[in-house]
Structure 1
Amino acid sequence: MITLALAALGTLIAALIPVLRVVEMGAWFLGAATLATGILGAGVLVRRTGIAPAWASLVGAVVWVLFLTGVFLGDTALLWVIPTPATVDAAALVIPAAMDEIVRGSAPLNATFALSFVIVGAMGLLALITDHVVLTARMPLLASIGIVAVSLIPAIAVPGRVDVTAFVVLAAMILFLLRAETRARELPLVRASERRAGVPATALGIAAIGLVVAVAVTPLLPQPRAAVATGSGFGPGIDATLALGDDLRRPADVEVLQVRSDASVPPYLRATTLSTFEGDEWEPDRVRTVPLEEEGSLGGVSVAEDITLASTATTVDVVNLNSIWLPVPWPAVGVDGLDGDWGAAPANRTVIAQSGGSQGQEYTVRADVPRPTLEQVRALPAAGTEDDDLRALPADIPEIIPTLAQEVTAEAATDYDRLIALQRWFRGGEFAYSLDAPVEEGFDGSGAEAVAEFLEQREGYCVHFASAFALMARTMDMPSRIVIGYLPGTANGDVIDAQTVYSVTSNQLHAWPEVHFEGIGWIPFEPTASLGVPTGFSSGTGIPGSVTENQAETDPQAPEATPGAPVDVDDPAESDALSPGTVGGADGQNPLPTIGAVLLVLGILVLPALVHRARLGRQRARAEGGDVSAAWAMVQDAAIDVGIGIPPSESPRAFATRLSDRHGAPGGAAATLATEMERASYAPPGSLDPGSGEVALAAAEDVRRAVRAAASPARRVLAALVPRSLVVRPGSAYATARSKDPLAAR
């Protein structure tokens, strides 16, 4: 039992190693290991006294409470270890503080008092569960699955390279745990050779489960929503909404794209647009798509005749991004090199997967970029579309939004100058970029009330800046929308075909506003303080990203890039018209993930029955080869499956008699099987009849059929679909709990 407890302790500590990638090393690690040792050690001492195993869990819980109280909350306790109501109140404050640190922090987190309390406490609870499942129920495989799941949490929270060392240590400790439990079982009737064979078989089972999860389950799991801002990490996906405050504060940060372009500056990459504002949130555009491979599927760029167009080519290599929305520069007129089925949405020039996604794609996007001069853009109004949704505002919009819009733009003479005044005001020092302030001050999101609170607090992230800018533009009767996409990234030092390669990470997912100008199309602006490059046009040159002297803004932190000068006079009203193949409507949903999920669930449901059938086949083969214990194991498994208890002290003869007297087994077959088992157990080596295995197998088959037939219909169905014998062993606590037969003690 001591060896088994040590194996369980080693497995728990191995599962704790991955936490080091999320939380800095500190006293919490020693505290967690000490608490686990105390709980498992207390369980061993209780069991050695001979009292009921349930007391071991109770004593372990007492150790858990006393340890946490004495180490963390001793000043609120009686005699420093006995908790009081004040201790409970203190814990109720510490736990939310730790959760807040986890949600808002960036890995690796500092090992604060609150965080250490939660980690040590959680480790203690896991030790309590492991103690019961392994040492009482004797189900180490079940405990191992739970421990592995816990060890995966840090990898899910902070994606990155696989920690091979931690994985090997955990795998070794799990195998050691299984081996220790196998040796500790008191089943003298099971041959030593069979026990030795059980460990590698179980190990192979664990490997098979791991492969199934990695290959089949993981790709079907919903991707974490990608947030729209910088400063913390996100999962490898794009969510076409702005309800992303929680995701902004996730700690992961991974490379998602590599980009190179023949443009003078690396372009922003856009995924999708949001044009409809309902008051509480911005709605993603519902766009009609056509097959991307069709000639001119994205449409040409239409501008006033005196405005220049510059053609660019941008190559994007998707490193770690699983999204139906393809990041492309604006305004895309063609995409080459994609694999799979893709649709083009001419209304907003987005590219959308009809099946599959962006992961692993490498493609080149051709874009025709308008180059208006400062004089040209000033001469044109912010108009050019009749879509009322692009100007719509809620009836009860907070007064602060239109009031500030008028105040900030009061001295501007043209629509363009008004928007530049807004952009300069947001970036001019009165506002601060912050992921924390929205939560601390009680507001979040992109709705009108959140924007009003943002304008009061003057701290927020890009969702707030973009939404505030777009709403303020609409109060001045200018058509506006919001774009979700990526900042251009950072040069990584590589050069391909004389083009610098830029690395785009998940924390560079971003949101920015656009305003539609007659004769030009959509022009992006960058109001977010300290991010990106502000939009501006030079007199006579028409190069977006450069600014005139009286408009110059200082942003030394920003990459040398601009949202681009997007232009498209296609009528956005088409975005509401849906047709087959549309992404966003029910008709456009890809059924393959749903079908795959259903098949996976069905496969999981039948897997226990298939495993049990394979195990039964191996037992029959061994019995035919002369292994009487295999035939005996078949009967034990059948009994466990229908709920018949098997105490560890019961002899084969007593068990066979009980099956015959109380559970419908034929007396002759049960007696024959018991006799053959006794001979196999006590006969001198080499003295058994070679045909004993076949005799025992025939008797075992008769007993199995009779025992199953005597069980209730519901019990037979459960035995077929969910065989308990896969996880419950003869002689364990769960195998004996159901037995109330006085003959079981014989």
Structure 2
Amino acid sequence: MHPDSAALTVRGRLALTTASFVLMVVATMSLGPLIAGGGWWWLCAFVSAGVFFGGAGLRALRVPAGLVPVLEGVVLLLLLTLLFGGSTSIAFLVPTPDTFAAFGELFTGSQRTIAQQTVPAVAVPALNFALALGVGALSIMLDLLVQIARVPALAAVPALVPVLIPGFLIESGVDIPVLVATAAAYLLLLRVDVRVMRRARIEQGDDEDVATVAAPKRVPVASTLGASLGVAATGLVVASLLTASTPSISTSLLLGNGSQGALFARGVSPFLDLGRDLRRPEARPAFRYLARDGDRPNFTLLTLDSFEGDVWAVTESPVDGDNTVDALGAPEGLGADVETSEHPIDVLVNEVRTTWLPVPYPSTRIEGLSGSWYWDDGPLTVRSVDTNTAGQRYEVTRLEVEPTVAQLRAAGDPRSVDPRFLELPDEVPPIISETAARLAGPAATPYDAAVAIQAFLRSPDFEYSTEAPVEEGYDGGGFEVIAAFLEAKSGYCVHFASTMAVLAREAGIPSRISVGYTSGTPTPERIDGVQRVEVDSHDLHAWPELYFEGVGWVPFEPTPGRGTVPEYSRPGAGQAQTSVLPTAPSSTAPSTGRPELDPDRGLAGGATDPLQNEAPLRAAVLLVVVLALLLVPAGLRVLQRASRRRRVRLGRGAADAAWDELSATAGDLGVAGIGATPRVFTAFLASRPGFRDAEALAALVRLRDAVERARYGPASDLATGGDEQRAANAAVGPRPDAALLGDLDSACRALTRDASVRDRVIAVLLPKSLADRIRRASGVRTADGA
């Protein structure tokens, strides 16, 4: 491979730039199966266009080739600053040290969101930043290969990066239509490159087959079609094999990054290891809260609903980007006749670090969180895709559900709940079946059966112990563990909760298990008259929730000595028709010795809604983007004018460049002249008031004579004619290139003097000459000189 000897024209380079841009944005579509929505693709296309066409503008200004990739990197930085820098930048474009710090946080957040999300992932800001940065860098690499190294065949390398990524994350790999479209875009780039290079050689007279008088040759289609199709087909086959053969490594981590064992080492442990955290000899603070209405609810982290015989697990589901925490969904199955009330709770997280947020079930909204958080349909659990709970300060509005015992007893068959909440493996240990039949058999309703199961597990026959299951080897929550637990009758919350959930399913009652924290320990400290409650590692808990038609999911408490037993679940509660879900009693617990909360800030004092602060910023950024788009035509016209004036200074087609600029200026100002020859157009302009000045008129005539001499005079560069031809050229007189810029300025000033203020403004913001340029590029030719 070697650099091409023929210099590419500006139009040829623009064609290559456009083809390269098309290849990159089509290849980026390969990421579609991995990311929800389409906004991320438009963002990447915007960044890629800025890089590619920014490079094209730099080349039009004759910037040294070696500097173009560096300046394209600057363009990428400016675009990232505009899109993600926000208030940390100067004028939304110039980055500051704070901007780079924000970029660092976004990049770290992108690593977290990639690790935490399943596909299709929600395009949160951190992920969008990583995508924009990656596509921008690939665009610079592709542009360098095509425009500077002149090896467009290697453009497949950066284009294949987004094509191959799905093969590592999902079993199906990239969509075949997108793969075909990428191959077609690659073929288009190869074809454009061949035709542009052949055209450049023809125009420079480097093609040996071109005769002097003959019309320029068309680039033969057959000469490159076979080779181009072969390369494209090879790339298509290779990409197909790679995406099909690469094993999927997509995983969904249950509780954060999964690299920790015990809860407070870093994150929340899996369900089966919860006992390890309960057995810590010294409690570690988890979070604190202020409940202005005196609420003492349990706080749910996640809900386990899938039981396969060996372990309880979360049913895997992707994050829904529409489920933002400013408004959580309605509780599943809750009837309109069940009384409810809302209660705000302010929470400050201490050491616990997990991607699941501790919230009461059910809750209606959450305010003050940093990062991107979403709620799951059904359990209404809340998880993040780019951050964790460490240091979070938020207000959660709890929905207190108050069914009566009569409503629970009147619940019919669970028609509206997913059947998976009743699923059990086929081989149920006999002790489980027998216990369920003994407890639920005499019960008149599913509610009575649930009360009987809870009373059985809370009876004196069972004891709470975090050590016995470990010592006797039945720790966990599977069938064999439950059977051993029913024999030994000693365990902790994991065993009680999983046993009641399985017994309930065996009795035909839908069940699931919540993992989180009990209500904690009230402290003597008060903030604004509200008692502060501390929750620590010893408050970790698991409890079953059972489903009743018309009421929804209702918590029970089978673990003796833990949590609060709901009034409606106590034996004999059916005699009290007004029994409701409990409100924990106000506490007068003594001081726990925990550190005092800062009285100047309180628990909610520093919690502000970041969206409120960002609204003016977003409006300002939107305004800047709109203004930038409006100024695009003006910017292109400035680049065009600078390019022509540079040609005049360098003597490269100076007369044509000067005349084209004069014609463009006239067109921008609304002066008609399309289709006229230089002589006719000069006569037309000479009649205008601005050219009554003798100097301006003389300048116009000299421009006309120069372009006529260049277009219709003998060509000094032709090989035919030899010395005689050069002598004839000398007899015509020297070309007035040195004076053309002065004449051009004089003529343009005369045109501007004739124009109204309105026409001048339109000429700057919406130059009409660009529309003519577009028509020419699309094949609609206009006459020279117009």
Q: Report the TM-score, using the length of structure 1 for normalisation.
A: 0.41
Question: Which of the two has higher C-alpha Rg?
Answer: 2
Give the TM-score normalised by the residue count of structure 2: 0.39
